[in-house]
């Protein structure tokens, strides 16, 4: 069932108002990672809640308690739950989004003040922190609500909302909220949810809409090597003692090679190779080596073969060496032998990998390799955090509805993508609710979500609003078919 014409027309006719709505939201610097801006996150929660209420959504602010950041105990910003519609003949869709943003300062290299929405008529872009991640998509849903409210049209599905203000700072408190809410059964705000839709990622490129059905997991490690009681002078102690940095660098060099192959035995091997049919899925995606090099800002792709590069991100594990804690990191030439160093690295996981089956391989490998060094320093390894990968059934009716909606709005078949990163709440919803989760991105691959000059194309915001609304109609149609 295509979306009704009056809805689509309403969206077109109210572009300027919708952009003004986004401008108001961007002006609230709801940076969850900076304690001083915590009141702005709360203010943003209130703004969003008022918008939802204005269009008939019943809401509830949920207090998530406190947490510690930079040594300060801070109240967490509230999460907002919402519901509208309770028609048992309709499907119920749960919408997730977040209203906090990454830090941004003009001095980081922004061309415009980050907390003012700057409209560039020439490129048709809206610049500002949060424009794409995730205020644009969240307000896209509000736009859909407004259109139906003003047109006095009933929504084609029942909607539930779960919006948080800590996504950019580890979604603290959210998992607990979801798990406790689910436990309430009939009393739960999530009762009767048939599927979840999250609009918080991006197209693969700048041209083709995408549906995303997979995310990599992660396991993050810290390898500690310690020896002397204090940092030593390399002139005085060099070649008298085992140096922790030498041990650590030797170990880190045994984890991954410059072609990206993971050297920990058994890790790459856990993932079955793609057959020709699966490779075709990646060949079919609208993406090129030029796209990856453009977005990385360097001609550094691991291969000239598009499918191989895309599989590297979407269906292969990866191991990245992030840095070293405790060693000299400044400019200049300090001649220190650091006493205690910690190497940080992480592995992105794909099914069937989980932290539970990968961690023992990594830990025992490094323990064995450390013993081979014959060093008198001490070794230990910690797992700092982990998360399972997620892959969804992309032939589910929710994905079919999203495909039809995309074809209706963009006249294009969407790319079916898997993302290399993690959105942990996806897995929480999938496991806690036991329903299909769809990632339906609004923005483009070059939006610069965590970067300077974050933007959302006006066309993505407006057509994206239509897409979200149309998706709801297609969900309803799928149900009736």
Known catalytic residue: 120? no
Of the candidates 256, 377, 237, the one whose C-alpha atom is nearest the C-alpha of residue 321 is: 256
Q: How far apart are CA 361 and CA 83, in angstroms?
A: 45
Residue 141 CB, shortest distance to its own copies, in Å, is 25
On the CB side of 157, CA atoms within 13 Å amount to 32
Q: Is 243 in the site for its own copies (CB under 8 A)?
A: yes
Where do the H-state alpha helices sit in 421-457? 424-433
Give residues 251-270 in contact with its own copies (rule: CB under 8 A): 252-253, 256-260
E strand or H helix at 347: strand 340-349
Pick from 133, 200, 415, 419 the residue near its own copies by CB under 8 A.
Answer: 419
88 Cβ neighbours under 8 A, 6+ residues apart: none
Range 377-416, binding its own copies (CB under 8 A): 377, 384-385
423-452: contacts with its own copies (CB under 8 A):
450-451
CB 178 to its own copies: min, Å: 22
| Pick 2 or 249: Cβ nearer its own copies | 249
Answer yes or no whether residue 242 interacts with its own copies by CB under 8 A: yes
Nearer to its own copies, 418 or 466 (CB): 418
Nearer to its own copies, 172 or 194 (CB): 172
Q: Candidates 53-61, 185-193, 232-240, 465-473 — which segment interacts with its own copies by CB under 8 A?
A: 232-240
3-state SS record for 131-183: HHHHHHHHHHHHHHHHHHHHHCCCCCCEEEEEEECCHHHCCCCHHHHHHHHHH
Whole-angstrom distance, CA of residue 155 vs CA of residue 93: 11
User: Is 454 one of the catalytic residues?
Assistant: no
Residue 274 interacting with its own copies (CB under 8 A): no
Query: Count of residues for the chain?
Result: 481
Q: Is residue 156 within 8 Å of 473, Cβ to Cβ?
A: yes
Give residues 307-326 in contact with its own copies (rule: CB under 8 A).
309-310, 312-313, 316-325
Find tokens 């009939």 and name the residue.
186
Q: Is 329 in the site for its own copies (CB under 8 A)?
A: yes
114 is a contact residue toward its own copies (CB under 8 A): no
Binding of residue 298 to its own copies (CB under 8 A)? yes
Interaction between residue 227 and its own copies (CB under 8 A): yes
Residues acting as catalytic residues: 100, 167
């Amino acid at each position: 069932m295509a979306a009704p014409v009056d809805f689509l027309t309403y969206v077109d006719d109210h572009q300027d108002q919708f952009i003004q709505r986004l401008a108001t939201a961007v002006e609230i610097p709801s940076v969850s990672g900076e304690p001083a801006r915590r009141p702005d996150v709360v203010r943003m929660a209130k703004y969003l809640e008022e918008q939802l209420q204005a269009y008939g959504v019943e809401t509830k602010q949920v207090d998530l308690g406190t947490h510690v950041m930079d040594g300060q105990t801070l109240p967490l910003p509230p999460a907002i739950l919402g519901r509208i519609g309770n028609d048992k003949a309709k499907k119920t869709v749960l919408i997730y989004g977040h209203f906090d943003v990454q830090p941004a300062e003009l001095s980081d290299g922004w061309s415009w003040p980050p907390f003012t929405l700057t409209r560039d008529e020439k490129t048709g872009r809206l610049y500002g922190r949060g424009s794409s991640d995730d205020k644009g998509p969240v307000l896209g849903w509000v736009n859909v609500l407004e259109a139906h409210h003003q047109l006095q049209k009933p929504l084609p599905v029942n909607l539930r909302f779960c919006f948080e203000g800590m996504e950019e700072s580890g979604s603290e408190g959210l998992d607990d909220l979801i798990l406790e809410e689910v436990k309430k059964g009939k009393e739960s705000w999530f009762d009767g949810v048939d599927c979840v839709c999250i609009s918080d990622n991006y197209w693969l490129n700048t041209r083709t809409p995408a549906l995303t059905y997979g995310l990599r997991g992660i396991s993050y490690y810290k390898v500690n090597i310690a020896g002397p009681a204090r940092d030593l002078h390399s002139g005085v102690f060099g070649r008298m003692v085992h140096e922790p940095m030498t041990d650590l660098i030797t170990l880190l060099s045994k984890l991954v090679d410059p072609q990206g192959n993971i050297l920990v035995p058994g890790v790459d091997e856990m993932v079955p190779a793609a057959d020709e049919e699966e490779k075709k899925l990646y060949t079919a995606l609208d993406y090129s080596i030029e796209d990856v090099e453009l977005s990385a800002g360097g001609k550094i792709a691991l291969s000239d073969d598009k499918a191989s590069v895309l599989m590297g991100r979407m269906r292969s594990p990866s191991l990245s060496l992030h840095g070293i804690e405790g060693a000299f990191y400044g400019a200049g030439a300090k001649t220190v032998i650091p006493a205690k160093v910690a190497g940080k690295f992480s592995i992105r996981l794909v099914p069937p990998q989980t932290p539970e089956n990968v961690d023992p391989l990594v830990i025992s490998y490094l323990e064995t390799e450390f013993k081979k060094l014959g060093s008198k320093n001490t070794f230990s390894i910690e797992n700092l955090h982990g998360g399972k990968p997620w892959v969804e059934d992309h032939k589910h009716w929710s994905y079919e509805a999203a495909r039809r909606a995309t074809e209706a709005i963009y006249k294009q078949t969407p790319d079916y993508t898997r993302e290399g990163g993690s959105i942990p709440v996806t897995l929480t919803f999938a496991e806690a609710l036991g329903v299909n989760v769809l990632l339906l991105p609004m923005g483009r691959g070059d939006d610069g979500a965590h970067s300077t000059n974050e933007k959302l194309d006006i066309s993505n915001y407006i057509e994206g609003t239509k897409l979200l609304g149309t998706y709801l109609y297609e969900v309803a149609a799928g149900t009736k078919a």
